[in-house]
Structure 1
Amino acid sequence: MRIAFLGTPDFAVACLAELVASGHEIVCVYSQPPAPRGRGQELKPSPVHAFAEGLGLPVRTPVSMKTPEEIEAFQALDLDAAVVVAFGQILVRDVLEAPKLGCFNLHASLLPRWRGAAPIQRAIMAGDPVTGVQVMRMSEGLDEGPVLLSEAVRIDALDTVASLHDRLAAVGARLLPVALAAIERGGAVETPQAEDGVTYAKKIKPAEARIDWTRPAAEVDRHIRGLSPFPGAWFEAPSEKGPVRVKALLSRVEDAEGAAGTVLDDALLIACGEGAVRLLKAQREGKGAQEAEVFVRGFPLAAGTVLA
């Protein structure tokens, strides 16, 4: 089929690779415009943009898909279908109706739970035992279209956004060609989403990242893993030169008690409002991520230290 692929982050790269390998003609790839990245804040293409250029595929990076010029350019592609994977822009009706067979989205949750921008993070932070990947027909509503294909994925006790992201991306890349084959032959079964159980995965805001040690340990643990590696849940630790910001990147819940925010041993066991969490990986300002035993050798946090 003649397909346009719309995607931006790493999550979408494997999907694009599988569609190319499946023999579809990728007429055009759409991605968000180059953005400042890295310490130098140089303008760099998105992961999908860079990958597509490496394959010699034509790439467009519109600031908005809503302008008449972009809508006309999309319509002129004469597409059989369009595939959207974490593109980052809302598509208007004229775009959704342009491909002959429609536009299809790969979404990293079990809809209608966690519609929206941050489904992987929100699933971990909420303590969901299971999430998944679904292929859906796009409509004008936010992730409201009927589902064509679905696969559940378990969320493990030590899963972070990074580890769960990679598993979901692999599942999604496998599902997409199967769904498109069914669409092409007219055999796709579309199941409307349930009206009950709708939740929204709001975009993660920087203000959410600071750890509140007064919360129960289970919540603190999910908060840490649900924001790892980016933006990273953080706290401040005292030092001779003043407070140092530390990102907590991996943790587990342990059975211990103490005043909230107090370090309980010399190996990063920290009391919460109820129970305690042990940090397994952390990163202080100006340093890379480190396993706990390496971290405490360079920046000891002795028992009795109070964290903010």
Structure 2
Amino acid sequence: MKLVFAGTPEVAVPALDALIASDRHEVVAVVTRPDAPSGRGRRLVASPVAQRAEEEGIEILRPARPRDEAFLARLREIAPDCCPVVAYGALLPRVALDIPANGWVNLHFSLLPAWRGAAPVQHAVIAGDGTTGAATFLIEEGLDSGPVYGVITEDVRPTDTSGDLLTRLAFAGAGLLAATMDGIEDGTLKAVRQPTEGISLAPKLTVEDARVDWAAPALRVDRVVRGCTPAPGAWTVFRGERLKLIQLRPTPDRTDLTPGEPAVGKNSVHVGTGSYAVELLWVQPQGKKPMRAADWARGVRIAPGERLGAAEGAADVR
């Protein structure tokens, strides 16, 4: 089939590579988000999908909005058989959905109808799901509600961050998307309507969503940190400044600390939660590079009564 691939971030590149490598399909163009400012100099940088397409000499379409008439006109000229999609980052209007003969087929990183939305992997980790996966489905105007072509499953490991899990799903899902294109082309694959039960939503996580609540149980704190890594990045407050929490681990044998209360050992930092403590492993102070938590604690010299998550100037004065 003649394909126009739509995607933007690095996680979409494995699927693009799988379709480029296919001997049954031709990727004639990619649709991606416009170049965006990056780095301290705020220089405009092409998306990872655009960079990969440029390496292959594939036409790149960068509409400011998918309903722009110039973009729609070019898509009609190309007349693709199908438009596979991975993390494109913009809603597609009906007028665009109707152009390819076999529609737009999205690779979504959850087992639909679970975790419909922009952040399915993050929500799966935070919720403590033991199994997740990826699905290919025909895009309709509803939120990830279209009929499903195929699925794969993936175990969520106890130490997985959302970044770890998404990387595995990106590569496994690339094969699923390529197989879906094959099945659509030869007519052996039919989309099946999603069940009406088991629907859950996965909206984009905000910075405030990533703030750790030390009164929550340790397992919840651990899941929030892993689910928000690498983005938007879990954090707390210490001495009125934000402290990013990169890695920690629950320590069920440590039950002597109250929520937010730190205990600094020679090579360790424990913090109390609503259940038992967690050990901080890697942190990133505001304006600094990531460092081992024990090195951070030695540098700041935590005073008796100070807490993580407390408002500026607040201390425990028991």
2:253 is aligned with 1:252 = no
The CA distance in 2 between the partners of 1:55 and 1:221, in whole Å, is 41
Query: Partner residue of 2:218?
Result: 217
Query: Partner residue of 1:168?
Result: 169
Shift of 1:298: 5.0
Write the letter of the residue equivalent to 2:141: E
Residue pair 2:264, 2:297 contacting (<8 A) in 1 also: no
The CA distance in 2 between the partners of 1:300 and 1:178, in whole Å, is 56
The CA distance in 1 between the partners of 2:224 and 2:294, in whole Å, is 22
Query: Partner residue of 1:47?
Result: 48
Shift of 1:189: 3.0
Query: Partner residue of 2:271?
Result: 270
The CA distance in 2 between the partners of 1:42 and 1:189, in whole Å, is 45
Change (3 A) 1:301 1:136: farther
Query: Partner residue of 2:312?
Result: none
Q: Aligned with 1:277: secondary structure?
A: strand
Greater Cα shift, 277-286 or 135-144: 277-286
Greater Cα shift, 207-216 or 298-307: 298-307
The CA distance in 2 between the partners of 1:26 and 1:34, in whole Å, is 21
The CA distance in 2 between the partners of 1:219 and 1:152, in whole Å, is 24
Query: Partner residue of 1:306?
Result: 307
Q: Aligned with 2:231: secondary structure?
A: coil
Residue pair 2:117, 2:143 contacting (<8 A) in 1 also: yes
Shift of 1:289: 2.6
The CA distance in 2 between the partners of 1:300 and 1:173, in whole Å, is 48
Shift of 1:235: 1.3
2:198 is aligned with 1:197 = yes
Change (3 A) 1:307 1:293: closer
Q: Aligned with 1:191: secondary structure?
A: coil
Residue pair 1:263, 1:303 contacting (<8 A) in 2 also: no
- Residue deviations 1:120-174 (CA, integer Å, cap 9, x gap): 1111111111110111111111111111111111111111111111111111112
> Please, what TM-score do these two structures have when normalized by structure 2?
0.90
Residue pair 1:138, 1:145 contacting (<8 A) in 2 also: yes
Give RMSD over aligned pairs.
Answer: 1.8
Shift of 1:305: 4.1
Query: Partner residue of 2:3?
Result: 3
The CA distance in 2 between the partners of 1:41 and 1:281, in whole Å, is 28
Greater Cα shift, 294-303 or 271-280: 294-303
2:130 is aligned with 1:129 = yes
Greater Cα shift, 27-36 or 251-260: 251-260
Q: Aligned with 1:273: secondary structure?
A: coil
- Mark the runs of 5 or more structure 1 residues left unpaired by the alignment: none
Change (3 A) 1:297 1:58: farther
Q: Aligned with 2:71: secondary structure?
A: helix
The CA distance in 1 between the partners of 2:166 and 2:39, in whole Å, is 21
Q: Aligned with 1:95: secondary structure?
A: helix
Q: Aligned with 1:133: secondary structure?
A: strand
Write the letter of the residue equivalent to 2:247: L
The CA distance in 1 between the partners of 2:300 and 2:3, in whole Å, is 52
The CA distance in 2 between the partners of 1:182 and 1:140, in whole Å, is 23
- Residue deviations 1:63-106 (CA, integer Å, cap 9, x gap): 10113332222122111111010001111222112111221000
Structure 1 segment 101-120 matched on structure 2, within 5 A: 101-120=102-121
Q: Aligned with 1:115: secondary structure?
A: coil
Structure 1 segment 258-297 matched on structure 2, within 5 A: 258-266=257-265, 267-293=268-294, 295-296=296-297
The CA distance in 1 between the partners of 2:221 and 2:19, in whole Å, is 39
The CA distance in 2 between the partners of 1:130 and 1:303, in whole Å, is 42
Query: Partner residue of 2:60?
Result: 59
Structure 1 segment 10-89 matched on structure 2, within 5 A: 10-23=10-23, 24-89=25-90
Aligned residue-pair number: 304
The CA distance in 2 between the partners of 1:292 and 1:53, in whole Å, is 42
Residue pair 1:265, 1:302 contacting (<8 A) in 2 also: no
- Mark the runs of 5 or more structure 2 residues left unpaired by the alignment: 310-318
The CA distance in 1 between the partners of 2:294 and 2:143, in whole Å, is 44
Greater Cα shift, 129-138 or 289-298: 289-298
